[in-house]
Structure 1
């Protein structure tokens, strides 16, 4: 299921996978300017955007994810490991993330 989630993240050019998938854990973030290679120079803004995204998702009550910071980059962590998790759950979770990202990115 985590492999499916990772593929969904990789297929949306607004997001990037931040580390190789490890068992059930996928680490990713949203980028406000997906085609801008200078995004590394905007670390604080990208970090703030991802903090807001995670807060919005968690406050919705639909799902819960955690975060970490690696080399100064704020990263959202999605763990998919429950034995009863089905593909439809993963796809719905991804849609929730995209909806929150859409709302947040339309404000910026």
Structure 2
């Protein structure tokens, strides 16, 4: 299993628009076959900072997700919304899952 944590720091004037765009990614992503879980967060300390916490069955699953049409438009225009590019951090889970997948 592969975990992705993605940090996105919005331009202040684009925060609300970015939040709507990011929220719109949740439902179609959760419907993807190899998505274990997909969670969208906003920082309690910085209203311009957003984070996705995602678990995928494999790197190949994540690569397929990143190529999905519902992400293509956002990815192409992401820098219109962001102070800096998306910070992607990849992790391999070392503890057992609490639920079976």
Give the structure-1-normalised TM-score: 0.47
Higher helix share: 1
Higher strand share: 2
Structure showing greater relative contact order (alpha-carbon pairs closer than 8 Å, 6 or more residues apart): 2
Give the structure-2-normalised TM-score: 0.49
Q: Which has the larger radius of gyration?
A: 2
